[in-house]
Amino acid sequence: MVIICCRDEAEISQLEHDEQKDFLIELGLEESSMEWLTRTRLSSKVDCGTV
């Protein structure tokens, strides 16, 4: 299960790249949920079925 905070993802998407990294650090994250999901899906056979 992947939990994505749409509010945070929306805010991240509106920031410049450097600001995105700073915001993620403030949240205690290395990458956004969407970055993680994209990287994970492209690098493995993760089942991204619907609920």
Q: What is the pLDDT of residues 4-51, one digit of tens each?
A: 888 888 999 999 999 999 999 998 988 988 888 888 876 766 566 655
The pLDDT value given to residue 25: 93
With beta carbons less than 8 A apart as the criterion, state whether 2 and 35 touch. no
- Residues in contact with 23: Cβ distance below 8 Å, sequence separation at least 6, in sequence order: 11, 12, 15
The pLDDT value given to residue 15: 95
The pLDDT value given to residue 50: 58
Alpha-helical segments (H) within 1-51: 6-13, 17-27, 33-43
